[in-house]
Amino acid sequence: MKFRIDEQIFEDFDKPLIGVIVCREINNIGNDSEIDKLLRTEEANLRKKFNGVEISEHPNIAPWRQAYRKFGSKPRDYRCSGEALARIVLRGSEIRNINKLVDLYNYISIKYTLPVGAEDLDKMKGDLVLGFADGTEDYTPLGKDDQDPPKKGEVIYRDDIGVICRRWNWREGDRTKITNETKNAIVVIESLAPIPEDLAKDALNELAELLKKYCGGEITTYFLDKETKEVDF
């Protein structure tokens, strides 16, 4: 299986950097009190960090809002996953526990204010591609039953079956969602200039270590950028 990024992504957007973690034979069953403590602590830190800051102008969020505009999605209506998660915390809510892998990547997302997501490799077919929709792809949103296909020209993640995530990192699909039974997964951490590349690299390294500690298995990391548009894992 390969993960590749369409060349046009690098032509249309400013220095995309995608950190990738491939997880094999992990144990994702149940929740963990230590992970929950990490989340609660980072929620408090985020509220302090954003005190008096307009979230839409944050340097890690503004580039994504600009990217969404570029492929035709209004950022007031559709927000990157990093912004959406931060807004949940800033309105006083706690991030609900899902499972160990999802809880850990949510922790990393709010700590670094970056979009992070994951998919179950065993539910995918063919290669994973980050590219542009032609508008005919199959897509069922997370937690839904009905189809909601992407708009033509929208940035999507897809495999041979259909869309895995719409509007780049706005909403994941139901088909490849991470569950307690997930054994093999791919995690992505996404960045655009002028967000410092070291931030995404630090986030990737910390998440990889946390996954080893709490989920076990074999953890492998990669980075995709303009020089390395494809990885075979």
**Chain segment 129-159, per-residue pLDDT in tens:** 999 999 999 999 999 989 999 999 999 999 9
Both tokens of 200, joined, read: 């995404």
Looking at residue 123, what is its pLDDT?
98
Which positions ≥6 away from 76 have C-beta within 8 Å? none
Looking at residue 27, what is its pLDDT?
98
Strands 155-158 and 163-166, how do they pair?
A: antiparallel
C-beta of residue 121 within 8 angstroms of C-beta of residue 97: no
Residue 174 CA to residue 119 CA, distance in Å, equals 10
Domain 2-228 in CATH 3.30.420.40? The answer is no
pLDDT along the chain (233 residues), means of 10: 98 98 97 97 97 95 98 96 98 97 98 98 98 96 92 97 98 97 98 98 98 98 98 96
Looking at residue 208, what is its pLDDT?
98
Give the strand order in the sheet containing 155-158: 171-172, 163-166, 155-158, 128-132, 2-5, 230-232
| Region label for 216, one of left (φ > 0), alpha (ψ between -120 and 50) or beta (otherwise) | left
Q: Where are the domains of the chain?
A: 2-228
Both tokens of 22, joined, read: 């491939």
183 CB-contact burial (10 Å; exposed 0-12 / middle 13-18 / buried 19+): middle
Looking at residue 218, what is its pLDDT?
98
Looking at residue 10, what is its pLDDT?
98
C-beta of residue 203 within 8 angstroms of C-beta of residue 111: yes
- Nearest alpha carbon to residue 39 among 229, 214, 156, 217: 214
- Nearest alpha carbon to residue 166 among 192, 130, 195: 130
